[in-house]
Structure formats: structure tokens, C-alpha cells
Amino acid sequence: MREHDDVAYAPRVNLRGRPLALVLAMIATACRPPAQPCAWPVAGVTVVRDGAATLVRRDLEDTGALFTPSLPTDDTYRAFRARVRADGAELRRPTADRAPPADDAERELWRREDLNAELVLAGEAGQLRPIRCLEALTFHRARESIVLVLRRDARTRIYVGASDQMFPPKSVYGLDQARADVAAGWRLDVVLHNHTVQRRGDRVALGVPTLSTGDVSLLRNVATDPGLGEAWVTNGVYTAVVPATDFRRFLGRD
């Protein structure tokens, strides 16, 4: 770059009289490259097909924006966020309709679900943070998906299991594939899944951002074999991040 061009690229702000740290921060902001768009960096390979359900694998040298706060700009995700905001449902502590428990067993189940929610919401286990790109890309408001993130040196392998039903069949969970990968030197860092949108009267409510009682037993097994770093549960707006070392604090179904 020629010398006089530098002037054109300097931030056009009056820096006189400002503290040095502030000046440096302003220059850093002016020079920061634009945020990368939230999108899959590569196309996936379908490794299992079970009716309408699929398990798709991606191998990445560069994960792009996947693990950043950048969010998808597609109409479906934007419309979901707009609806949640319009319904006043963008809450860290979601409130959804719940039918009165039919019997003692159901009352006990809700007690356990509530305790699991409170662990995360009170900051006693794991943490709740705003959703990021990978979670938003794989989020569906009415259907759950399961996402596995494995790493080996600088490489990242991601499996996404999904179907046209609310819950995908176990054949596309990717756990057998992950076990084989771990045996080959990979590390299973994350199991991510989403909790679907609930109702509050005629408004939407977010799913509960925590491990459900049903999640707990599955994830404990995964933490034992093949081993797991963290579970992530997203409701499309917030994501609970729970390290496997905290799983023992959550309640399962038995």
C-alpha cells in the first residue's frame, strides 16, 4: 500500500484528548474484519438414511462462524426470533403452559424436571449463554435434532441427526459412529440437541434450557462410553452448556 493511502484507511475520528486505551480500542474496532456469515463451511455427506431421517457428517479444517455469536440470516430463523420477541417470550426463564399432573408419578417427574432447570438457571451447574451459530443452524422450532462435535488435532467433525418427526430415531444419533471415531483417535467434545417451542396461551414460549430427565440417562451413558466433554441444550435463543462432570447433579427418570 502506498504511503498516502494510509490516511484514507485511518479511522475518521478525533482522537485528541482521549485516553490511549480508548484510542487503541477504537482503532481495533475500526480495523476488525466484518463478522463471518453463519453458514456451513462445507456440504455434508449423508452417512445414514432411515426413511426420512438422516445422519449427515461434515469434516472441517476451518469451522468458519460455527462457534461464534454470528446468527443465520435466513427467513425461517429470523421469523422465529421475531415471533418470540413479539410474544414477550425472549426469557432466560421460560414460562409455558403445563397441564396439572395426572398422578403422583407425573408430579414427581415435573419435580425432577424443575430441579434440573433450576440447576442451570441459578448457575449451580453449567451455564446459560445466548445461542451461537451452530445451535441456530441446526435448530427447528417443532423438531429435535442431535449434533455431535468431535475434534482431532486441528480437525473438527460434526454429525447432525434429524428427521421429519419431533424426535429422530436412534439410528441417526451418530453414537456408534462417534464410538468408532473415538477409537480412531477423535475426542467427543459436544453433544448438542434442541428443545422445541412450547405454548403459553396463544403465545409461544421457549423450551426449557436444561437437561431433561430423559436426556440425563442418555448423556451419562455417552459420558461413560465413548466419553464426552459437554452437553449443550438450546431452545433457539439460549443455550445451556453443561460439562459432563456436572451430569451427576441432574436427575434422571429413575
Question: What 3 state SS string does the chain have?
Answer: CCCCHHHHHCCCCCCCCCCHHHHHHHHHHHHCCCCCCCCCCCCCEEEEEECCEEEEEEEECCCCCCCCCCCCCCHHHHHHHHHHHHCCCCCCCCCCCCCCCCCHHHHHHHHHHHHHHHHHHCCCCCEEEECCHHHHHCCCCCCCCEEEEEEECCEEEEEEEECCCCCCCHHHCCHHHHHHHHHCCCEEEEEEEECCCEEECCEEECCCCCCCHHHHHHHHHHHHCCCCCEEEEECCCEEEEEEHHHHHHCCCCC
Number of residues that bind Zn ion (CB under 5 A): 2
Name the residue nearer to Zn ion (CB basis): 52 or 166.
166
Using only C-alpha atoms, what is the Rg of the chain? 22
Q: How far is the CB of 119 from Zn ion (least distance, A)?
A: 14
Nearer to Zn ion, 40 or 141 (CB): 141
Residue 193 CB, shortest distance to Zn ion, in Å, is: 5
Beta pairing, strands 203-205 & 187-194:
unpaired
CB 235 within 8 A of CB 207: yes
From the CB of 139, what's the least distance to Zn ion, in Å?
A: 13
Q: In this complex, which beta carbon is closest to Zn ion, that of residue 192 or of residue 204?
A: 192
Measured from the CB atom, the residue of 64 and 229 that comes closer to Zn ion is 229
Asked whether position 215 contacts Zn ion by CB under 5 A, the answer is: yes
Q: Residues 194-213 vs Zn ion: string with x where CB under 5 A?
A: ------------------x-
Q: Point out which residues bind Zn ion (CB under 5 A).
A: 212, 215
